[in-house]
Structures are given as structure tokens and as C-alpha cells.
Amino acid sequence: MTQQDLDQAVAEATGEDVRAIRQRGFSLANPLDVNFDPEPDLRPPQSVDWDALSLQQNVALFAQPFDRAPGWI
């Protein structure tokens, strides 16, 4: 597929003018090139690990021995 074929296919799919598609800079990417990203997103992942957060927040104020509970024989 040539650049002209790609521009034409995108223009037909979007209903845009081919000149507008050329100005936006569509290009073919090699699927084997995993590091292809002209504007990499260097922000940390936008998700929360609730289990890890819970472990950080639920901290005992006093040490509690776990070998025996009170009242056990």
C-alpha cells in the first residue's frame, strides 16, 4: 500500500477531503516495531491497585502478637 492509497482509503472511510488527510499525517506503521510512538505517553498508568493501597493505609498503631489470641488455652 502506498501513501496515496492510504490517504485515499482514510478519506473514503471518514468522508474527509484527501488534502485534509494528507495534512494530518497518516502513515503506515510496522507492526513488528513495538517502540514506534512519535509521542510516547510517559505518565504513570491511570489505574489504582486497591489491594496495595489498602495495605499501605491499614497499619496497626500497636504491635499485636499473632501467636495466641487472648483467652486461648
pLDDT bin (cut points 50, 70, 90) of residue 35 is confident
Which pTM does this prediction carry? 0.43
- Does residue 61 form part of some domain? no
Predicted local confidence at residue 49, as pLDDT: 87
Residue 8 within any structural domain of the chain: yes
Sign, CA dihedral 8-20-35-41, equals: negative
Is the residue at 23 inside a domain? yes
Q: How confident is the model at residue 66 (pLDDT cuts 50, 70, 90)?
A: low
User: Is 1 among the domain residues?
Assistant: yes
Number of domains comprising the chain? 1
Taking the C-alpha atoms of residue 42 and residue 47, their distance in angstroms, rounded to an integer, is 14
